[in-house]
Amino acid sequence: MNDQTHQLTLFGESSADDLPLPVHVDKRDYGTFKDSLRAPIHSWFRYPAGFSNTFVEQMFARFEIHPGQWIYDPFSGTGTTLICAKQAGINGYGVEAHAFVHWIAQVKLFWEFDRSSFGMTVENTLRSIKTWVNSRRDHTSVMGVFPELIYKCYHPQDLVELYLVREFIEGEIDDPHLVDFLKVALTDTLRKAAAAGTGWPYIAPKKNTGDKPPKNALGVFTETARKMFRDIQLVTANPIAQSRIHNVLGDSREHQHLQDETIDYALTSPPYLNNYDYADRTRLETYFWGLAKTWGEITQQYRNQLLVAATTQVVRRQHDIDTVLNREIDRISQTTYATIQTAVEALARQRLVKAGKKDYDLMVALYFNGLLSVIREAYRVLKPGSKFCLVLGDSAPYGVYIATHELAGQLGVGLGFKRFDYEMFRARGDKWRGNPQRHHVELREGVVILTK
């Protein structure tokens, strides 16, 4: 059997008939990544901060967004909105401040491989990687290569295999698109091949002594790369209307390179005000790739660039609770300002009697300062009559309720939007009812719809 025959047997040719059947998604899952984990391309990187690709597609249909029109996502993340736009032939402009997450999206958005040869290229490269790893595995040491966290997460043999695959991809392949494709495959392998608990959102492993059998990291990587190739075949099986997709590494609180009133629709899921650290979520991946080696480097390179939504982003000595909340909020809506400031002061009092003394007070103020800038920029670029949809969850740090959805809507109206509506997806927050430190405030998740 020659290589070409083997290649056709392995990958085959895909058509529209091979696309996954539509999956019914309960609206309670619209704010989650559940359906995206089963969707071609979307599933390449497990991201708990993601949201439903099915929801995005349904919103495009609901508001009649067609090929040739422009959509905007100020928190584009791993590319959910932009991928849906590209699949539909819709132009898209996204902004993402987390450099590693932005890179993931960039790779997921590149499908322009040569269909006639890419499958063979992938398979031949996987064979070469296997030979490379097998010839070096037994006499390769990774001591001193990684931060300590990495060693705690893997069986020693798996870590050697992961390291050798990394070295081959970065040192032996010339095609930059193939390099990125395989780097994402290896990135997605990292949590699948881990011996420690590397679930969402954080990692708290015990030191791995090698007493449990390895997970065959090389095999996991190989199957991941093959699955990704099949995804490329599926989404490109039929012609797609040409679209322009711009995914910018930047800050959506700042002025974008978009003209006034040129966007037909905006859809995003901002960070939730729930003390979730998006920079820490990618610590395993950035440590493995050598992009950061310490908590300080993660803060400098990633955390400091993000909208404040976690206490780990707050430097208390830089702020005062009496002045930290942007007075512009007071100018556009005195009620909104008073509501947020009252919560900030209540959290400041609670902080003094809580063991953790978390900086929830400053976190809340800084969050709404940032959200104000994001909404203002969205208002500028949207056409009159268009919609800005924000998937949001409310929160209750230290039991102080923050109606994030209502406050975001009020900020939008204060900035010029004609109205806001809210549609609830689900109740949430009951997962930790057994935790005596957990509040018992009923929370919700849904979509805020601002109309310009």
pLDDT tens-place string over residues 43-90: 999 887 778 899 999 999 999 999 999 999 999 999 999 999 999 999
Residue 384 reports pLDDT greater than 50: yes
C-alpha–C-alpha distance, residues 317 and 308, integer Å:
16
Amino acid at the residue 144: G
C-alpha–C-alpha distance, residues 102 and 224, integer Å:
20
Q: Which residue has the higher pLDDT, 244 or 240?
A: 244
Residues 62 and 91 in one domain: yes
Residues 304 and 255 in one domain: yes
SS3 290: coil
Give domain status of residue 22, yes or no: no
Q: Scanning the structure block, which residue is given the tokens 């599926």? A: 234
Residue 374 reports pLDDT greater than 60: yes
C-alpha–C-alpha distance, residues 256 and 74, integer Å:
10
Return all residues near 210 (Cβ < 8 A) that are at least 6 apart.
Answer: 155, 156, 157
Q: Which residues pair with 445 in a beta bridge?
A: 393, 426
Residue 409 is part of a domain; what is its CATH number?
A: 3.40.50.150
Domain boundary among 214, 235, 256: 235
Banded model confidence at residue 2, pLDDT cuts 50, 70, 90: very low
Domain boundary among 212, 235, 258: 235
End-to-end CA separation in angstroms for the chain? 62
Give domain status of residue 203, yes or no: yes
pLDDT tens-place string over residues 198-237: 654 455 666 555 577 899 999 999 999 999 999 999 999 8
Domain boundary among 235, 264, 293: 235
Give domain status of residue 430, yes or no: yes
pTM above 0.75, yes or no: yes
Total domains in the fold of the chain = 2
Residue 431 reports pLDDT greater than 70: no
Residues 123 and 89 in one domain: no
Residues 156 and 220 in one domain: yes
Q: Among 51-55, 371-375, 412-416, which stretch is predicted with the lowest mean pLDDT?
A: 51-55
Residues 76 and 171 in one domain: no
C-alpha–C-alpha distance, residues 427 and 446, integer Å:
9
DSSP string, 152-203: HHS-HHHHHHHHHHHHHHHHH---HHHHHHHHHHHHHHHHHT-SS---SS--
C-alpha–C-alpha distance, residues 347 and 359, integer Å:
8
Residues 94 and 133 in one domain: no
Residues 189 and 124 in one domain: yes
Supply 172's token pair. 């032996």
Q: Scanning the structure block, which residue is given the tokens 């820490």? A: 280
pLDDT tens-place string over residues 146-204: 999 999 889 999 999 999 999 999 999 999 999 999 999 999 999 999 987 765 445 56
Residues 154 and 229 in one domain: yes
Domain of residue 261: give its range.
53-109+244-315+371-451
Banded model confidence at residue 267, pLDDT cuts 50, 70, 90: very high
Give domain status of residue 307, yes or no: yes
Residues 221 and 249 in one domain: no
Q: H or E element: which one contains 292?
A: none
Residues 277 and 402 in one domain: yes
What's the pLDDT score for residue 34? 63
Residues 89 and 157 in one domain: no
Banded model confidence at residue 408, pLDDT cuts 50, 70, 90: very high
Alpha helices in 37-155 (DSSP H): 53-62, 80-88, 99-108, 118-136, 148-153
Q: Which residues pair with 71 in a beta bridge?
A: 92, 265
Using the Cα atoms of residue 260, residue 390, residue 323 and residue 336 in order, give the sign of their dihedral: positive
Nearest of 187, 185, 183, 203 to residue 195 by alpha carbon: 203
Give domain status of residue 99, yes or no: yes
Residues 228 and 249 in one domain: no
pLDDT tens-place string over residues 289-312: 999 999 999 999 999 999 999 999
Give domain status of residue 344, yes or no: no
Give domain status of residue 154, yes or no: yes
pLDDT tens-place string over residues 6-48: 332 233 333 333 334 344 555 555 545 567 667 889 999 988 7
What's the pLDDT score for residue 196? 76
Give domain status of residue 21, yes or no: no
